[in-house]
Amino acid sequence: MKNKRKREQPRPAIHPRNKYSEKPPDFALLASFYPSFKPFVFYSRDGRPRIDWTDFNATRELTRILLHHDHGINWWIPDGQLCPTVPNRSNYIHWIEDLLLSDIIPRPNPNQDNVRGFDIGTGANCIYPLLGASLLGWRFVGSDVADVAIEWAERNVKSNPQISDLIEIRKAGTDASCSQVEDPYNENSNLERKVDHAVRDDCYSGPPILYGVVRDGETFDFCMCNPPFFESMEEAGLNPKTSCGGTVDEMVCPGGEKAFITRIIEDSVKLKHSFRWYTSMVGRKINLKFLTSKLREVGVTIVKTTEFVQGQTCRWGIAWSFVPPVKKIISTHVAEKPNLSFMLQGLQRQSSAFDVLQSIESFFRVSGASCKLNVSSFCVDVSASPTITITTISS
């Protein structure tokens, strides 16, 4: 039997709606417009203008002038704070825009009016609210725990009166632990115990992330997060090719990004439909499998992932929702017999078998049937009437 050649996957590219997708920043041109940037530009042997990416002052000045030149945003951060790259952060914004515009889950705002996002750990740079408000007119709440981050985020917002009404900066509390909290949103105590068991080994013990920061009755279209990727500052300093700054609060979390995003998952189970989409950036591809498995355990209706590419830097995005996916029943044959045949439409081509099972379960629940999803045997047991029981198995 001949071995099949493994199909080569095309390398992901910068998002097509990204301002820099077809025309990357021209350092020489920018230096001619902004004298403050000129000292940081040098020319390589091939004559191309470059900057030293290990120089924090150079990367900060580049971010400042790109935000001003291409987005009309006034911006600054003090020494040591995390300095974002504008093209990479724009990729994340446009991916969320894709999720909101998609037909994966119902759209309450077909015209994308009054979109409201929540930026977890907005930092002194406040980059996501500033970009989302300036590019797309989105409203934002940006949260953080550090006083210096709150102070400079507010400064950056106030420095841009054209969008300042769209952005609220919110201080997250400091009283948090891994112990279970009485949850007014949770309708399934068994599921809550399941989540507690799932996250026990990678328990996040820092300040509140979403639950306890989102106020009663608040709803958002999405949340986003550039989590602390590392478990220590020593680990954070292993990349000698870049210098983007970053405080301990921004860079480090016990358990790293895996523990931090796991806590977002835990919070999302409590908040459920307070958000249409929960999302986070992921720094290590190996963590995607772990996080996807956690999401399936807690019963989300859809999981999406993507890869963000900018230059030599790769990051990944993960998104999930508890909103039932859009689907249409083309035909059903509901005769009184032990096997029902039906067809689901509206699932994405890349939907996994688990997605199909969850869609089947959701359909029958909406129809008033009693059903039980058995993950271990990969089946859905459906009781459509006192006399009819159907087992639907997906392969």
Where among 321, 350, 367 does a domain terminate? Answer: 321
Nearest residue to 266 via CA among 192, 377, 160 = 192
pTM: 0.73
Query: Which of 175-179, 187-191, 214-218 is predicted with the least confidence, judged by mean pLDDT?
Result: 175-179
Range of the domain at 270: 74-172+203-321
pLDDT value for 332: 43
Nearest CA-CA partner of 185 in 384, 65, 87, 322: 322
Q: Identify whether residues 308 and 352 lie together within a single domain.
A: no
Average confidence (pLDDT) over 24-51: 96
**Residue 298 falls inside a structural domain:** yes
Of residues 97, 345, 119, the one with CA closest to residue 224: 119
Q: What is the pLDDT of residue 109?
A: 65
- Does residue 98 carry a pLDDT above 90? yes
pLDDT in tens, 363-386: 666 556 677 777 656 677 776 554
Q: Which range (5-14, 115-124, 314-323) has the least confidence?
A: 5-14
Q: Is 144 annotated as a binding residue?
A: yes
* Residue 221 and residue 292 in one domain: yes
Examine the domain organization and report whether 250 and 372 are in the same domain: no
In this predicted model, what pLDDT tens digit does every residue of 168-183 receive, in sequence order? 999 997 543 333 333 3
The answer on 242 and 104 residing in a single domain is yes
Q: Could you tell me if residue 178 is inside a domain?
A: no
Total structural domains in the chain? 2
Top-confidence residue, 78 or 338: 78
Q: Both 308 and 378 in a single domain?
A: no
What are phi and psi for residue 153, nearest 5 degrees? Answer: -60, -45
Helices (H), the chain: 27-33, 56-71, 86-101, 127-136, 147-158, 189-199, 233-236, 248-251, 256-271, 286-298, 353-366
Task: Return the DSSP state at 9.
Answer: P
Same-domain status, 253 and 382: no
Any binding-site annotation on 299? no
Residues 88 and 167 in one domain: yes
Most confident of 97-101, 185-189, 204-208: 97-101
Whether residue 284 is found in the same domain as residue 369: no
Within a domain: 393: no
311 is in an annotated binding site: no
Q: What is the CATH number of the domain that holds 307?
A: 3.40.50.150
**Range 44-61 average pLDDT:** 94
More confidently predicted of 191 and 157: 157
**What average pLDDT does range 328-351 have in this prediction?**
47
| Main-chain dihedrals φ then ψ at residue 31, nearest 5 degrees | -65, -30
Domain match, 308 and 359 both: no
218 located within any domain: yes
What is the reported pLDDT for 284?
85
* Inside any domain, residue 14: no
Does residue 194 carry a pLDDT above 80? no
Give residue 376's pLDDT.
59
What is the structure's pLDDT at 394?
Answer: 38
Of 27-36, 142-151, 181-190, 354-363, the one with minimum mean pLDDT is 181-190
Q: Does 336 fall in a domain?
A: no
- The answer on 358 and 295 residing in a single domain is no
- For residues 346 and 287, membership in a common domain is answered with no
Range 253-264 average pLDDT: 86
Examine the domain organization and report whether 307 and 347 are in the same domain. no
283 is in an annotated binding site: no
% residues pLDDT > 70 (the chain): 66
SS (H, E, C) 109-152: CCCCCCCEEEEECCCCCCHHHHHHHHHHCCEEEEEECCHHHHHH
Q: Dihedrals φ, ψ of 309, to 5°? A: -125, 130
pLDDT of residue 392 exceeding 50, the answer is: no
List pLDDT tens digits, range 221-244: 999 999 875 455 555 554 444 556
Q: Is residue 223 part of a domain?
A: yes
Look at residue 334 and tell me if it is in a domain. no
| Arithmetic mean of pLDDT over the chain | 79
Given a cut of 90, whether residue 199 has pLDDT beyond it is: no
Higher pLDDT, 345 or 391: 345
- Mean pLDDT of the 247-276 span: 84
% the chain with pLDDT above 90: 53
